[in-house]
Amino acid sequence: MLSYSIPFCICLSFGLSVLAFPSIRLRDVYQFPNGTWLENIAVRSNGNVLVTAYNLAQLWEINPFNGTDSHHAHLIHQFENPGTITGITEIDRDVFVTIASNSLWKVDLSMTEPIVDPIDITIPAGTLNGIAALNDSSLVISDSSLGLIWRVDIQQGTYDILIRDNTTATSTALGPTLGVNGIRVLGSHVYYVNSPQRSLYRVGLDASGNTVGQPETIAQGVLADDFAVTSSGAYLAGLTDNIITNVSHNGKTHVVAGGRNSTAVMTATSAAVGRTKYDANVLYITTGGETQGPVNNTNHKGGKIVALRLDI
């Protein structure tokens, strides 16, 4: 998920031939102002979308059903600025944990007004980035600069290293020192991407949350910042490859949106599937904006949320 400073020119895909896909499948939900880098996304039980504005240290809520007017976007919280905000995950109905300036914060949206509080735990981290919930107290968090995955219990105030191996390791292949990036949990598996390695991995967990066996490579050769994972496969946000790639559980890949010469999902950073009966077939995508290397002489624009229909 951490991708804001990666130069555009060094991230173009090699070995993955893509064409721009028809815009009939895509709909811009909301465009943020110039200079806004959207980093991560979660979907509330009511269907509203939560997005983290990385460089502004802001958490926003957007109603994706009501067009693109500004009154459909609501600032949930302004964290300390200058600062950053990266991953976000739901731990209970309408209760989320997010990472702001390398600290964990609880965001309770179950009441009339949001309640945002710091979580009293200090992790000896490098760069906390992606986050996913194992249950209502246990989290897995990617540390992109140390090249490992933390397991954190926010109720007990404890942490340990879940995975630190070649699959999470850092490199400078994309410029900055970066390793494991986006992370998700589906069933009894933890899925994660290593952006410089252009790889998607998964590892099994037992009932106690310990790893079972060695990490398994699902796909290679596809750049991803973050992703959504479902029972039918994963959808990788291709950052400066400007694409969304579907990866089946047997490792087959194909591009479902965007293209090298398209701004439709330019600098795609994350993705999440809708949760209501109206959008269960919709993939919501965040982008970092058309700011670091615009194509087709387009103007610079801020990050946006895009809706991709998956049933066409």
The residue type found at 123 is I
Structure tokens at 263: 């701004």
Amino acid sitting at position 278: Y
Quickly tell me which residue has 């103007």 as its tokens.
299
The number of residues making up the chain comes to: 312
Q: What are phi and psi of 147, to 5 degrees?
A: 70, 55
Residue linked to tokens 């387009």: 298
Q: 106: helix, coil or strand?
A: strand
3-state DSSP: the chain helix, strand, coil percent, rounded to 5? 5, 50, 50
Phi, psi of 21 (to 5 degrees): -90, 155
Could you tell me the two tokens for 6?
Answer: 């990666």
* Residue 25 confidence (pLDDT): 86
- Confirm if 71 and 82 have CB atoms less than 8 A apart: no
Specify the CATH number for 26-309; select among 3.90.1150.10, 2.120.10.30, 3.40.50.2000, 3.30.70.660: 2.120.10.30
Buried b (16+ CB within 10 A) or exposed e, 270-301: bbbbbbeeebeebbbbbbbbbbbeeeeeeeeb
> Residue 10 — pLDDT band, cuts 50, 70, 90?
very low
pLDDT at 110 over 70: yes
- Could you state, in order of their start, the residue ranges of all structural domains in the chain? 26-309
Q: For all residues of the chain together, what is the average pLDDT? A: 91
Band the pLDDT of 11: cuts 50, 70, 90: very low
Interval 248-276: pLDDT, tens:
989 999 999 999 889 999 999 999 999 99
For residue range 230-242, what is the model confidence (pLDDT) as tens digits? 999 999 999 999 9
In angstroms, the CA 33 to CA 12 distance is 25
Q: Measure the CA–CA gap between 81 and 85, rounded to whole angstroms.
A: 10
Average pLDDT of span 132-148: 98
